[in-house]
A and B are shown apart, each in its own frame.
Chain A
């Protein structure tokens, strides 16, 4: 329990640090004080750590430097950009909600299964992680397309056509984002264990009450972490969306697709692609920070 509260603590610290955007000076001061307190990291390890950080951050810096700043405002407020951004936010949000609705129960089933079944379910659940999203898009097309296994039935019986609609975007995003949520929530469930649930039952709480008043609150940090990852993945999703939902402005052209279109588009300068990228990055950061700073009343 102490370990989990410690990690929650560092999480919170980490979030706070990013949120306040410390100057390099204050960051290094913080590092010094940590070392003085005896965190005991071998000095040699700072080198690969710095390289890793550079790998993650320098490309973004490059993007900022390469941007043609005078033209950025115009590119951002353009009809095209606004519609893509709005669509991205809507679909990513919808996909995240969908993932929460099916993902938490799925995680619960995996976490409470016997070892062998849990291992199998977990492997299958994480399959989309190791699959290129493009392959996922193709698979979705073959399942839900007009001639697909389920798609043909839907079209024949209900007149529902899924591919190349906004719904398809949400499904594609959910497909690639769900594993992140399930993995986080399942980890939280395993850490929480079943002892609190057993105690709640002996106090007279039925299964729903236990789930609602004990299990969910206990795993909330894991749910939030999973939701953040899930939303981020949905917002950035490109491959599966492109194949399964297409690239129709207004209905399926999300930000990543708009950026791709701008970058390759005939006659359009790459500057607008960069401007859109910047917009997506900033929006992504803002949303992640909001999600991370929102926590249920501090638990410990």
Chain B
């Protein structure tokens, strides 16, 4: 089933203005920070929220249609006032799984999974049988009689996955399904979800409610780039209620279009112009040596590199060229602030002042004063080099770690 949705939602100062389209069997990851409108979008698609304007349809079935009164679109052919169609949530065949599993606390694991089937009019015995197959599919058979409160967070979420998949919805919406879990459970649930999404076309779906089995379209909302990598075929990046970039996972995650997207996917991104096939002149005048495939000379490009590709050392340390220059131009090493003015001799090195040390994904994340570039390195490394906030440092990037791509 193909999902098409376009919507405008105003919530005080926040405006969500976005559209998505997801093909049958496809998984779209909506990536964005908290408050970017991802969950609001899902609520509109699920029928829990009526937008100011918008349409939601699954194949030819129109689920939400709110057209601006007196607007150009006068179609629909319904009598006056029929500009608004909002199919209630329970008739949409759209499954929603959030961060909180929200299992019904008064029902056993089995009854929770059977709930949706029963609601679709299935007989109790058949629903239970089907539910226990689903429990099996998510590895929860032995917990069939347990109440949700007797299960761990990871088990609850697995159960919730079984519960939503059992209803065989046309569209599956996952809203940060791993966000409330610890790292280990998140990884287990992510793997399960990946398997379920891969298998959704076959085996488990046998059709309920007198309908033939369907191939659902799936949206996974997340602020975790790992979810997008593992689960999605396509990624859309949301910022303040708008989709700022979307496309193939590798492209969107590997070639961020701006600083916002770069931060989200965990890369540094800078913009510039190709000077030679080995050098990009950045907007601030710095040169950056690159290798590999580079667009033609004069092209506007973006360059991306991971924080772990940035190495830091103290300005005063070692016998490297930059330190030698610094030592030559100033008497006291650490206070040689004049060296900021003179670009370092090596194109991929620059001077900066350490701003903050924060926990990063693989060690300590180091931000630099007045610079968007961040570095990430092992704590032991920082200790060995005696780098602390406020220190003058030399940052360098290996040319081999830099990706160059046309600016969009």
Residues of A within 8 A of B (CB): 1, 5, 195-196, 198-207, 209-210, 213-214, 217-218, 220, 296-297, 299-300
Contact = CB atoms under 8 A, between A and B. Distances in A.
The prevalent SS among residues of A at the interface is: helix
Contacts of A203: 90, 95, 115-116, 119, 163-164, 167
27 contacts: A5-B149, A196-B102, A196-B104, A198-B48, A198-B89, A200-B119, A201-B48, A201-B90, A202-B46, A203-B95, A203-B115, A203-B116, A203-B163, A203-B164, A204-B90, A205-B116, A206-B119, A207-B90, A209-B119, A213-B115, A217-B106, A217-B107, A218-B105, A218-B106, A299-B105, A299-B149, A300-B147
A191 B116 CA distance: 24
B100 interface: yes
Given A200-B90, A220-B106, 15 more contacts: A196-B102, A198-B89, A200-B104, A200-B119, A202-B46, A202-B89, A203-B115, A204-B93, A204-B167, A206-B90, A213-B104, A214-B104, A217-B107, A218-B104, A300-B149
Contacts of A199: 96, 98, 102
Contacts of A210: 90
Interface in B59-115: 88-96, 98, 100, 102, 104-107, 115
A205 B106 contact: no
B190 interface: no
A296 B105 CA distance: 12
Interface residues on B, range: 20 to 34
10 interchain residue pairs of minimum CB distance: A203-B116, A201-B89, A205-B119, A300-B149, A217-B106, A204-B119, A202-B96, A201-B90, A199-B102, A204-B120
A201 B88 contact: yes
B118 to A, nearest CB: 8
Contacts of A202: 46-48, 89-90, 92, 94-96, 164
Interface string B152-191: 0000000000011001000000000000000000000000
Contacts of B89: 198, 201-202
Interface of B: 46-48, 88-96, 98, 100, 102, 104-107, 115-116, 119-120, 147, 149, 163-164, 167
Contacts of B107: 217
A188 to B, nearest CB: 13
Contacts of A220: 106
A213 B116 CA distance: 11
B389 to A, nearest CB: 39
Nearest to B208: A204
With a 10 A CB-CB cut-off, give which of B93, B95, B105 has the most chain A CB atoms: B105
Nearest to B95: A202
A209 B115 CA distance: 10
Given A198-B48, A202-B89, A299 B147 contact: yes
A195 B100 contact: yes
B217 to A, nearest CB: 15
Contacts of B119: 200, 203-206, 209
A9 to B, nearest CB: 12
A229 B46 CA distance: 40
Nearest to A216: B106
Nearest to A205: B119
Contacts of B106: 217-218, 220, 296-297, 299
Contact of B90 (A205, A296, A297): A205
Nearest to A297: B106
B49 to A, nearest CB: 10
A299 B146 CA distance: 11
Which of A205, A214, A218 is packed against the most chain B CB atoms within 10 Å? A205
A297 B149 CA distance: 13
Contacts of A218: 104-106
A101 B120 CA distance: 28
A269 to B, nearest CB: 53
Contacts of A198: 48, 89, 96
B163 to A, nearest CB: 7
A296 B147 CA distance: 14
Contacts of A196: 102, 104
A102 B107 CA distance: 27
Contacts of A207: 90
Contacts of A297: 106
A201 B91 CA distance: 8
A196 B148 CA distance: 13
Given A195-B102, A218-B106, A205 B115 contact: yes
